[in-house]
Amino acid sequence: MQRTLVLVRHGQSEWNLKNLFTGWRDVGLTDKGREEARAAGGMLKARGLKFDIAFTSALTRAQKTCEIILDVLGQGGLRTVRDQALNERDYGDLSGLNKDDARKKWGEEQVHIWRRSYDVQPPAGESLRDTGARVWPYYLHEMQPYVLGGKTMLVAAHGNSLRALIMALDGLSPDEVVKLELGTGVPIVYQLNADSSVASKEVLEG
């Protein structure tokens, strides 16, 4: 039985390009971001992958990435579940700020701690652990049953919501997960065992 889970971080967003903290702010993809999504769809098509269901966040940049990938695969009408449990980490008061401006305001070290620590929250925002606290139960109860039932699933989401999910799948420690970098529009293909453990993992690049 195939138990295939494909994770894709959304393509480059308008605020990625401008070096702004985005979080839950709803911004669109750049031309490059749309091209990254098309390229991801092309790589998945080359592997002969077809999906039974897709999951994405409540934010446009992830939804559009999902839509483009499915269009490339000729699966534009596929059932797609959207839920804010898969949203990007909420950066709180940092949202909308240029990262360089934030460093000037709070200092390089403090901004680095907010961005790269596991459990320190930015002002009025979420830590990576907080993000995981909504991603993990949603995956276990709403998503994993499809995969363990033999379905092939696409998840188009965000850097931090996917890092939290990968932390659980790969058994990463807090120190390991904060070092994990996910490229925009790069598919990660998991095959799961019947007990939900990872049988194989492949990152598709170019």
* pLDDT tens digits, 46-99: 999 999 999 999 999 999 999 999 999 999 999 999 999 999 999 999 999 999
**pLDDT given at position 84:** 98
**What percentage of the chain carries pLDDT values higher than 90?**
97
Residues 154 and 162: beta-carbon distance below 8 Å: no
Is the predicted pLDDT of residue 205 greater than 90, yes or no?
Answer: no
Q: What is the mean pLDDT of the chain?
A: 97
Is the predicted pLDDT of residue 206 greater than 90, yes or no?
Answer: no
Rounded mean pLDDT, 122-128: 97
Confidence of residue 37 (pLDDT cuts 50, 70, 90): very high
CATH number of the domain that residue 27 is part of: 3.40.50.1240
Helices 99-106 and 108-116 pack at an angle, to 10 degrees, of 120
Task: Report the alpha-carbon distance of residue 23 to residue 71 in Å, rounded.
Answer: 26
Q: Which of 10, 67, 126, 158 is catalytic?
A: 10
The total number of structural domains in the chain stands at 1
Residues 132, 109, 89: CA angle, nearest 5 degrees: 20
Q: Which of 36, 67, 88, 126 is catalytic?
A: 88
- Look up 112 and say whether it is catalytic: no
Give the full edge-to-edge strand order of the sheet including 53-56.
80-82, 53-56, 152-157, 4-9, 187-192, 198-203
Rounded mean pLDDT, 142-149: 98
**pLDDT given at position 1:** 82
2 or 167, greater pLDDT? 167
**What percentage of the chain carries pLDDT values higher than 70?**
100
**pLDDT given at position 34:** 98
Is the predicted pLDDT of residue 172 greater than 80, yes or no?
Answer: yes
Q: Which domain holds residue 15?
A: 4-203
Taking only the tens place, the pLDDT of each residue in 92-121 is 999 999 999 999 999 999 999 999 899 999
- Look up 88 and say whether it is catalytic: yes
